[in-house]
Amino acid sequence: MARCARRECGAWRPDVLARQGGVGVVLERAWYCSRRCVERAAAERLEMARTELPAPAPRAIPPLKLGMLLVHQGAVTPVQLATALEAQQKSGHRLGHQLQELTFVSQPELLRALAAQSGAPWLPVLDPRRVRNVPSALGPNVVRALGLVPFEVETARHRVKVACAAPVPRLALRALSELTGWVADPFIVADDALPELLSAYENGVEVRQSSGVLGVLTPYAAATRIAQVASAGRETRLAHARCDPYLWVRVENGSEVDDLIVGATDTKEQSWQAAPTLH
């Protein structure tokens, strides 16, 4: 006798009917009596995954403060740094932006310091055509949520070079590795360069033919999509990873892959950008 995997339901069907298919829905080898039960079970799982604490990152030496790095590199003087910090209290700008506004540092000098702070290389310029033509299978919704834009792929080594703004989004890098098996090498670019690279990546979506539902979904909207895929009759598997403030959910159904980006319960589906960087 097959019982619904959702304990709160408790419905059952004869084993012969469940094995023959057409009765109920199977998700990750668990049998559910109805699509509605799949939706509820998936929503509960996503809500729990979205709110659970991520695994603690390995302990590391705290990065040097940006201002001290710039002084150490000879890009600004202690007096200029003090002036910028005082102006920052009034303007509310990030320190890097404030230093540039006061013409105390150039963009290359700032990027070099941010790269040293994050322990990653930096790119003064990145041709958007490299992003547009990169053979990546990640959909634009995933790229925006991660804040990582692929621009070079080494298929044989399962490595991908990605552009990002500082500080390097370590949680997003871990999510990319967990759900794809690929290792991402981050390269820091200027904050104002990232929107152009994201736009160029989106323009290449048709060439890559990547799948995925666009926009940020609530756990319940994502669960509806999962139940829809599972109802197709093929074996469906789920995997998820945190990429704060979002949850990236990968739904595999045979050879097809759907990437869903899940936000807060009250998040509405909308056009959106990668979260702004704080220096």
Phi-psi region of 170 (alpha: psi -120 to 50; beta: other; left: phi over 0): alpha
Last residue of a domain, one of 167, 187, 208: 208
Spatial distance between the Cα atoms of 198 and 141, rounded to a whole number of angstroms: 10
Does residue 278 lie in a domain region? no
Does residue 277 lie in a domain region? no
**Under a CB-based contact definition with an 8 Å cutoff, are residues 99 and 105 in contact?**
yes
Q: Same domain, yes or no, for 226 and 199?
A: no
pTM of the model: 0.82
Average confidence score pLDDT of the chain:
84
Exposed/middle/buried for residue 246 (C-beta within 10 Å: 0-12, 13-18, 19+) = buried
Please state, for a pLDDT cut of 70, what percent of the chain lies above it: 83
Q: Confidence class of residue 77 from pLDDT cuts 50, 70 and 90? A: very high
Per-residue model confidence as pLDDT tens digits over 29-51: 888 888 999 999 999 999 888 87
Residue 274 has pLDDT above 50, yes or no: no
Q: Same domain, yes or no, for 134 and 95?
A: no
Residue 96 has pLDDT above 90, yes or no: yes
State the pLDDT at residue 31.
Answer: 86
Does residue 273 lie in a domain region? no
Q: Confidence class of residue 25 from pLDDT cuts 50, 70 and 90? A: confident
Does residue 135 lie in a domain region? yes
Q: Same domain, yes or no, for 215 and 246?
A: yes
Least confident range from 122-126, 198-202, 205-209, 233-237: namely 205-209
CA distances from 201 to 17, 130, 143, 246 (A): 47, 9, 9, 20
State the pLDDT at residue 61.
Answer: 65
Residue-number span of the structural domain to which 241 is assigned: 2-54+211-262
DSSP string of 64-125, one letter each residue: PPHHHHHHHTTSS-HHHHHHHHHHHHHH---HHHHHHHTTSS-HHHHHHHHHHHHT--B-S-
Report the SS3 class of residue 239: strand
Q: Return the structure tokens found at 92.
A: 């509310």
Q: Same domain, yes or no, for 48 and 70?
A: no
Least confident range from 79-83, 106-110, 217-221, 232-236: namely 232-236
CATH number at residue 155: 3.30.300.160
Does residue 156 lie in a domain region? yes
Last residue of a domain, one of 74, 97, 118: 118
Instruction: Determine which helix (DSSP H) or strand (DSSP E) holds 198, and give its type and residue range.
Output: helix 194-203
At a CB cut-off of 8 Å and minimum separation 6, what does 251 contact? 225, 226, 229, 236, 237, 238, 257, 258, 259, 260
**Under a CB-based contact definition with an 8 Å cutoff, are residues 159 and 182 in contact?**
yes
How many structural domains are present in the chain?
3
Q: Same domain, yes or no, for 77 and 42?
A: no
Q: Same domain, yes or no, for 133 and 194?
A: yes
Does residue 269 lie in a domain region? no
Does residue 89 lie in a domain region? yes
Q: Name the more confident of 165 and 2.
A: 165
Q: Name the more confident of 22 and 236.
A: 236
Does residue 185 lie in a domain region? yes
Q: Which amino acid is at 6?
A: R
Per-residue model confidence as pLDDT tens digits over 148-163: 999 999 989 999 999 9
